[in-house]
Structure 1
Amino acid sequence: MSFTKEGKPPIAMNVKNAATNMSMDSVMLNASSLTRLSQLQHLQLRFFAGVLPIKELSKLKNLSELILVSNEFSGGIPEEVGLLSSLKKLDLRNHHQGPIPASIGGLTFLVELDLSYNDLNGRILEEVGLLSSLQKLYLDGNRLQGRIPSTLGNLSRLNVLQLYGNQLSCSIPESLGSLLSLERLDIGENKLEGSIPSTLNNLSRLNVLQLYGNQLSGSILESLGSLLSLESLDPHENKLEGSIPSTLGNLSRLNGLELYGNQLSDSIPESLGSLLSLERLELDKNEL
């Protein structure tokens, strides 16, 4: 028998198989009861302990949304997660360990994948680039290492990509410039090197570009001034050199420009005075 964090035994559920939505907190799951819910589409479980019952959940053929947040399931994310073939949303935030299973690449209907704020390690798998329906990908707040896979550039519907707070290294792949639907890109607080790829200039829908806390070098591209939807540009605490491009004055929607902690030189361009929506401007700790 397994117990919840409060030491309570599992509750056997008397349920009807016509249920389509279920949300449960702080009781131990009797997984065999769930398998009778043949029409279940949305399942949310919080504050559970024990073993993640993926094999049982895979019998729910209509399940499209699985939210398992702030639980204390033992072990990592099992390979059997790939059996949940109907899922459109998978949210496994908090208290999961180990690598990302390769079987996740088979969840081709996924629209949102949230594995943030776990203790995941290893690398971001190339297979994530197979999730052709994906619109939101959250892998922030883990211990993921290695390169950002270039296959992420295949996710043509992606509008949110959050990878911040990991240990990712090497350069930013140019393929991210193919994500023409992208509105938010946050890859801050990693160990990324090299220059800002010029292909990011293609991201005309981008609202937020967060590159802070890496080891990026080279200059701030003048062509970033063509991203007219940009509201926040934050490459602070890198090794960026050269002048602040005057073209940033074209970003009329910009409310945050944080360039501090680099090696920027020359004068502050007068064009920044055109940024009438600006609320935060941080230029200190440079060589201006």
Structure 2
Amino acid sequence: MNLADNGLVAKIPAELGSLKKLVTLFLGPNNLTGKIPHSVGNLSSLQCFYVSYNHIEGNIPNELGQITSLTVLTMGPNNLVGSIPSNLYNMSSITVLSVSQNQLLGKLPANIGLTLPNLQIFGIGMNQFSGSIPLSMTNASHLEIVDISANSFAGQVPINLGDLKGLQRLNLELNFLGNNSSKDLAFITSLSNCSNLQALSLADNNFGDVLPSTIVNISTLGDLSLGRNQISGRIPADIGNLVNLHILGADANLFSGSIPISFGKLQKLQALYLHRNMLSGHIPQSLGPLPTEVGQLKNVGALDVSENKLSGEILWKIGQCLSLEILYIQGNFLQGPIPLSLASLRGIQYLDLS
């Protein structure tokens, strides 16, 4: 039964529980409200239960954990509260467990990777979960997507995450992970074993110390987000080995030294955020946005090189970037006149030269 993408309102009828042969039930996106009826536990043949993108409230019923055939359970975004029933963590048949964007809370069981050995997608982002990431997580060897972002997880990230050989996306952002110590980023070395890893987000945590040079061995990465931590030291010189990068965010850290020349190898790069660090020296010619070639960025909409130690005059060729809407170059050591060419930026909306 697929009722998704309609305008259905009101509550989920308890009578659905009488459909003993129902295998798949898609109820979202819609505008359903109320609680999930306890009668869903009678759907003894159910394999896939999808109620995402509604306005469901209340607790996740314990009865869902009685459906031994259940493999896919997706329940967010909604307005669910309370904790995930303990019996759901013991359903070895589950391959997809997604409850993102609710108000769920609690700690993850220490043995979650052992009791959910077939888990492939684990999404609990944007809730109120806390505690540490269980070491047993790596026992769920089929995991491809792990998203625990925007919660209150703390402590160190398990150092053996690289045992998840099929991992494609790892999102740990917006938590309290790490404690600004030398062990915070040790797990990155093991991720070199994840030959399919495409997205890694560590932004908005408490990660500190130097970024391990082994990060450059994860050549499949397309999205790397490190922003708003306390990572220090130099950006690894061989960062250009990440030839598949589309987005690199390293802003608001404590990176120092010069911008690596190898950035010029990143031919697929679409967004680069290095602002609010302690970088110094020249912008390398290999990068593109440099004194003689910045005018070639005809389609760039935003340019932010603020809060660094750039010196010299403001480049007149910035006026050739006719698509610019945002230009932030504040917080540097620039001097000299404001180029008349900036008057050519007819679409500019935000300009900070302070």
Cα distance, 1:211–1:59 mapped onto 2, change above 3 Å: same
Cα distance, 1:253–1:62 mapped onto 2, change above 3 Å: same
Q: Which residue of 2 aligns with 1:84?
A: 67
Provide the C-alpha distance between the structure 1 equivalents of 2:91 and 2:103, rounded to a whole number of angstroms: 22
Provide the C-alpha distance between the structure 2 equivalents of 1:97 and 1:218, rounded to a whole number of angstroms: 37
Q: Is the 8 A contact 2:33 2:56 kept in 1?
A: yes
Output aligned runs, 1:110-121, within 5 Å. 110-121=94-105
Provide the C-alpha distance between the structure 2 equivalents of 1:69 and 1:269, rounded to a whole number of angstroms: 44
Output aligned runs, 1:1-288, within 5 Å. 21-23=1-3, 25-32=8-15, 34-45=16-27, 46-54=30-38, 56-93=39-76, 94-129=78-113, 130-194=115-179, 195-196=184-185, 197=187, 198-288=189-279
Q: Counterpart amino acid of 1:164?
A: S
CA deviations on 1:174-228 (whole Å, 9 max, x unpaired) are 1322111000001001111142123222222100000000010111111111111
How far does residue 78 in structure 1 lie from its aligned partner after superposition? Answer: 2.6
Q: Counterpart amino acid of 2:92?
A: T
Normalised to the residue count of structure 2, the TM-score between the two structures is 0.71
Comparing 89-98 with 104-113, greater Cα deviation is found at 104-113
Q: Counterpart amino acid of 1:131?
A: L
Q: Counterpart amino acid of 1:51?
A: K
Q: In structure 2, the residue corresponding to 1:228 is in which secondary structure?
A: coil
Q: In structure 2, the residue corresponding to 1:181 is in which secondary structure?
A: coil
* Structure 2 gap segments, 5+ residues each: 280-354
CA deviations on 1:229-271 (whole Å, 9 max, x unpaired) are 1111111100001110012111111111111100011111111
Higher relative contact order (CA 8 A, sep 6+): 1
Provide the C-alpha distance between the structure 2 equivalents of 1:149 and 1:273, rounded to a whole number of angstroms: 39
How far does residue 41 in structure 1 lie from its aligned partner after superposition? Answer: 1.0
How far does residue 150 in structure 1 lie from its aligned partner after superposition? Answer: 1.3
CA deviations on 1:95-119 (whole Å, 9 max, x unpaired) are 1001122111222111211100000
Q: In structure 2, the residue corresponding to 1:200 is in which secondary structure?
A: helix
The structure that has the greater radius of gyration is 2
Q: In structure 2, the residue corresponding to 1:215 is in which secondary structure?
A: coil
Q: Is the 8 A contact 1:151 1:175 kept in 2?
A: no
Q: Is the 8 A contact 2:37 2:61 kept in 1?
A: no
Q: Which residue of 1 aligns with 2:312?
A: none
Q: How many residues align?
A: 266
Q: Counterpart amino acid of 2:82?
A: G
What RMSD over aligned residues (CA atoms) do the two structures have, in Å? Answer: 1.7
Provide the C-alpha distance between the structure 2 equivalents of 1:278 and 1:70, rounded to a whole number of angstroms: 33
Q: In structure 1, the residue corresponding to 2:122 is in which secondary structure?
A: strand
Comparing 177-186 with 189-198, greater Cα deviation is found at 189-198
Q: Which residue of 2 aligns with 1:5?
A: none
Provide the C-alpha distance between the structure 2 equivalents of 1:282 and 1:72, rounded to a whole number of angstroms: 36
Provide the C-alpha distance between the structure 2 equivalents of 1:74 and 1:135, rounded to a whole number of angstroms: 26
Cα distance, 1:104–1:273 mapped onto 2, change above 3 Å: same
Q: In structure 1, the residue corresponding to 2:18 is in which secondary structure?
A: coil
Cα distance, 1:71–1:217 mapped onto 2, change above 3 Å: same
Cα distance, 1:99–1:43 mapped onto 2, change above 3 Å: same
Provide the C-alpha distance between the structure 1 equivalents of 2:55 and 2:258, rounded to a whole number of angstroms: 53
Normalised to the residue count of structure 1, the TM-score between the two structures is 0.87
Q: Which residue of 2 aligns with 1:8?
A: none
Q: Counterpart amino acid of 1:176?
A: L
Provide the C-alpha distance between the structure 1 equivalents of 2:143 and 2:46, rounded to a whole number of angstroms: 22
Q: Is the 8 A contact 1:152 1:175 kept in 2?
A: no
Identity %: 30
CA deviations on 1:134-180 (whole Å, 9 max, x unpaired) are 11111000011111111111111111111111111111111322111
Provide the C-alpha distance between the structure 2 equivalents of 1:284 and 1:29, rounded to a whole number of angstroms: 49
